Chains A and B, each alone.
Chain A
């Protein structure tokens, strides 16, 4: 995948789309994120890596207001997003999130899964949204499965549907939380191809992953986290993956070698 290196930095126009400032998050007194700050510009693809438990998934969950935060703020296009805020549902429409376990709605067909939010949240017309859903399904190669139910699909297919379900809302930014971690190895590729396609078409993404080759291919910027803090940040992913500057970064990358 290294050949398909994506370069979108020239698309970034300077203003941060997502701005995380001095975020502090703890669970029952245990600190998960310490004074974490990050700006994401439009069109940027940022990959966050780090050992499990380092707070990277929690960071995404806070960004989508699925977790309450104990300090700092998270701004989308300059507007704060917070769990339990009145406008949480509106703010979340600017953010698409895909989870590790895909979590389609089991009682709804693929098409109904995709159309639920556009019809009920955005109040779009079924005809128009349905047309877009078909286009998106076609893009991920699953148009023929539109009337199937989630249980009839493989993990990789379900994950591609989950991506479509997020995309149809036209989010400003996509949060991908270890979306291939629960998949069988042969299905990882089909999902990552879809994400790579999105990066090429200019989607802004914040990605948590353990797929290092993928991270290297897709990232404009890499953030290596440990224990709730940024250890190393690099806007030259190639250089980072070949020669991390920090000892901990080197150790972490070495753990992926056999």
Chain B
């Protein structure tokens, strides 16, 4: 096993530290995902609005998010705002802001897509039964939208979890950073640790994302209409 460099994991509290790092990653993604989904639902409904100004604003927002690398956004929010506005955001808060900024745009776009994919006649047959606009959304449109949305948004969630590895660039000690630290500390005694530790980090990401992605597959099958 020496050659794979896995031994360092069992030295001291190394493995525990990795798990703690993993928790930081998961915590940042979890908070970001929850806020993104909630705000994304609102954004998506607004994106279907016929208001030209609103539409244009969301268009620009979505393009910015798509074009701008998340890392640049992280730097702007974490380093940039401190200099210009004197905000002293802590790193985790900056990370959540960036991920939410990204997540709301993408989630909103998914919601918009799901909403417009519901045929107009579904609204009409609900209204023909005497349902009010709100009841139509609540009982007929949103449940169908959510069914279409969940597999797509889970895909977004796994992407967000993976992308949290970027936050080490603004000094957050998450799972990848812990891995690096362990490798650095053991450079002399276990030069091969780079392989073993990163492989384990890879495995940890896999263990988090795989069940989430399986859930998407399961729901997709169950709700296939």
- Report B218 CB to chain A, min CB distance, Å: 17
Number of interface residues of B (CB under 8 A): 20
Q: Encode contact with B along A24-57: 1 for CB under 8 Å, 0 otherwise.
A: 0000000000000000000000000000000000
Chain A residue, CB-CB nearest to B129: A117
CB–CB A89/B127 < 8 A: yes
Q: With an 8 A cutoff between CB atoms, is A136 at the interface?
A: no
Of A7-15, A91-99, A197-205, the segment with at least 4 beta carbons within 8 Å of chain B is A91-99
Of A100-108, A125-133, A226-234, A240-248, the segment with at least 4 beta carbons within 8 Å of chain B is A100-108
Distance of A101 Cα from B119 Cα, bound (Å): 11
Output the residue of B125, B132, B139 with the most chain A CB within 10 A. Answer: B125
Output the residue of B119, B122, B130, B143 with the most chain A CB within 10 A. Answer: B130
CB–CB A106/B144 < 8 A: yes
Chain B residues, CB < 8 A from A93: 130
CB–CB B147/A107 < 8 A: yes
Chain A residues, CB < 8 A from B122: 103, 105
- Report A179 CB to chain B, min CB distance, Å: 12
- Report B81 CB to chain A, min CB distance, Å: 44
Q: With an 8 A cutoff between CB atoms, is A153 at the interface?
A: no
From B119, B130, B223, contact of A92 by CB (8 A): B130
Tell me whether A116 and B144 are in contact in the complex, defined as CB-CB below 8 angstroms, given that A101-B121, A103-B122, A106-B225 are known contacts. no
Distance of A149 Cα from B224 Cα, bound (Å): 12
Distance of A166 Cα from B131 Cα, bound (Å): 12
Q: With an 8 A cutoff between CB atoms, is A221 at the interface?
A: no
- Report B138 CB to chain A, min CB distance, Å: 9
CB–CB A120/B135 < 8 A: yes
Q: With an 8 A cutoff between CB atoms, is A187 at the interface?
A: no
Chain B residues, CB < 8 A from A151: 225
Q: Encode contact with B along A59-96: 1 for CB under 8 Å, 0 otherwise.
A: 00000101000000000000000000000111011011
- Report B141 CB to chain A, min CB distance, Å: 10
Distance of A105 Cα from B118 Cα, bound (Å): 11
Distance of A165 Cα from B125 Cα, bound (Å): 10
- Report B142 CB to chain A, min CB distance, Å: 10
Distance of A92 Cα from B135 Cα, bound (Å): 14
CB–CB A121/B144 < 8 A: no
- Report B151 CB to chain A, min CB distance, Å: 15
- Report A177 CB to chain B, min CB distance, Å: 10
CB–CB A121/B131 < 8 A: yes
Distance of A99 Cα from B147 Cα, bound (Å): 24
- Report B1 CB to chain A, min CB distance, Å: 52
Chain A residue, CB-CB nearest to B126: A105
List which B108-126 residues lie within 8 A (CB) of chain A. 119, 121-122, 124-126
Chain A residues, CB < 8 A from B124: 66, 99, 103
CB–CB B125/A99 < 8 A: yes
Chain A residues, CB < 8 A from B127: 66, 88-89, 92
- Report A27 CB to chain B, min CB distance, Å: 15
Chain A residues, CB < 8 A from B128: 64, 66, 92, 95-97, 99, 166
Q: With an 8 A cutoff between CB atoms, is B45 at the interface?
A: no
From A64, A88, A105, contact of B140 by CB (8 A): A105
Distance of A85 Cα from B144 Cα, bound (Å): 27
Chain A residue, CB-CB nearest to B144: A107
Distance of A179 Cα from B221 Cα, bound (Å): 31
Chain B residue, CB-CB nearest to A104: B125
Distance of A88 Cα from B132 Cα, bound (Å): 8
Q: With an 8 A cutoff between CB atoms, is A18 at the interface?
A: no
6 example contacts (A-B, Cβ-Cβ < 8 A) are as follows: A105-B144, A116-B140, A120-B139, A121-B129, A121-B135, A151-B225
In order of increasing CB-CB distance, the 9 nearest A-B pairs are A117-B129, A93-B130, A103-B125, A97-B128, A121-B130, A106-B225, A92-B130, A89-B132, A103-B121
